[in-house]
Amino acid sequence: MRRAEGAAEGAVCALALTALVPRKGLDVLLDALALPPLREAPLVLWIAGDGPARAELEARAAARGVAQRVRFLGRRDDKSDLLAACDLLVLPSRREGLGVAALEAMACARPVVASRVGGLADAVVDGRTGLLVPPEDPEALAAALSRLASDAPLRARLGAAGPGRIAERFAASQMCDAYAQLYRELVAETA
Q: Is residue 135 part of a domain?
A: yes
Q: Which domain holds residue 99?
A: 12-162
Predicted pLDDT at 76: 95
Beta bridge partners of 43: 12
Angle between helix 100-107 and helix 152-169 axes, rounded to 10 deg:
110
Q: Is residue 187 part of a domain?
A: no
Alpha carbon distance 163, 93 (integer Å): 22
Q: Is residue 7 part of a domain?
A: no
Q: Is residue 57 part of a domain?
A: yes
Backbone region of residue 6 per phi and psi (left: phi > 0; alpha: psi in -120 to 50; beta: other values): left
Q: Is residue 111 part of a domain?
A: yes
Amino acid at 85: A
50 contacts: CB under 8 Å, gap ≥ 6: 19, 20, 74, 75
CA neighbor of 46 nearest in space, from 65, 63, 66, 64: 66
Name the strands in the sheet holding 43-48, side by side, starting at the edge strand that comes first in the sequence: 70-74, 43-48, 12-17, 88-91, 112-115, 130-133
CATH at 147: 3.40.50.2000
Q: Is residue 173 part of a domain?
A: no
Q: Is residue 172 part of a domain?
A: no
Predicted pLDDT at 186: 80
Predicted pLDDT at 175: 67
Q: Is the dihedral of CA 9, 102, 124, 71 positive or negative?
A: positive
Q: 68 with 30: CB under 8 angstroms?
A: no
Question: What torsion do the CA atoms of 125, 159, 3, 38 make, to the nearest 10 degrees?
Answer: 50
CA neighbor of 111 nearest in space, from 171, 167, 47, 160: 160
pLDDT along the chain (191 residues), means of 10: 86 97 98 93 95 98 96 95 96 94 97 97 96 98 97 98 93 74 82 73
- How many structural domains are present in the chain? 1
Q: Is residue 186 part of a domain?
A: no
**pTM of the full structure:** 0.90
Predicted pLDDT at 58: 98
